[in-house]
Amino acid sequence: MNSIAQNVEATSGQAEHKAHDLGHPPRYFVSAMLAGAYIAVGEVLLLVAISPFVAKGSPAVKLLEGAVFPIALTIVMFAGAQLFTSNVMVMLVGALSGRTGPRDLILSWTLSLAGNLVGAFTFGAMVHASGVASSPSARSMLTEMVHGKMALSGGQLFWRAVLCNMLVCLAIWMFTRARGDAAKIFVLWLPVAVFVAVGFEHCVANMAVFSLAILDGSAGFGDLFRNLMFTVPGNVVGGGLLVGAVYWFTGGALRESGASASV
Residue 229 lies in a domain: yes
Residue 241 lies in a domain: yes
Which amino acid would we find at residue 81? A
Chain segment 144-178, per-residue pLDDT in tens: 999 999 999 999 999 999 999 999 999 999 999 99
Reference 14, options 109, 94, 113; nearest CA is 94
Q: How far apart are CA 176 and CA 189, in angstroms?
A: 14
pLDDT band at 261 (very low <50, low <70, confident <90, very high): very low
Reference 146, options 198, 216, 84; nearest CA is 216
Cβ–Cβ under 8 Å, residues 180 and 159:
no
This prediction's pTM: 0.92
Residue 176 lies in a domain: yes
**Which own/partner pairs from 249-256 qualify as long-range (CB within 8 Å, at least 24 positions apart)?**
250/4, 251/4, 251/5, 251/7, 251/8, 251/9, 252/5, 252/8, 254/3, 254/4, 254/5, 255/5, 255/8
Residue 259 lies in a domain: no
What CATH number did the domain enclosing 17 receive? Answer: 1.20.1080.10
Q: How far apart are CA 244 and CA 114, in angstroms?
A: 22
How many domains does the chain contain in total? 1
Domain extent, residue 87, equals: 4-129+139-248
Residue 112 lies in a domain: yes
Chain segment 67-118, per-residue pLDDT in tens: 999 999 999 999 999 999 999 999 999 999 999 999 999 999 999 999 999 9
pLDDT band at 231 (very low <50, low <70, confident <90, very high): very high
Residue 91 lies in a domain: yes
Using the predicted structure, report yes or no on whether residue 257 has a pLDDT greater than 70. Answer: no
pLDDT band at 2 (very low <50, low <70, confident <90, very high): confident
Q: How far apart are CA 27 and CA 81, in angstroms?
A: 10
Residues contacting residue 263 through CB under 8 Å, at least 6 positions apart: 4
Reference 174, options 202, 156, 200, 194; nearest CA is 194
Residue 257 lies in a domain: no
Residue 263 lies in a domain: no
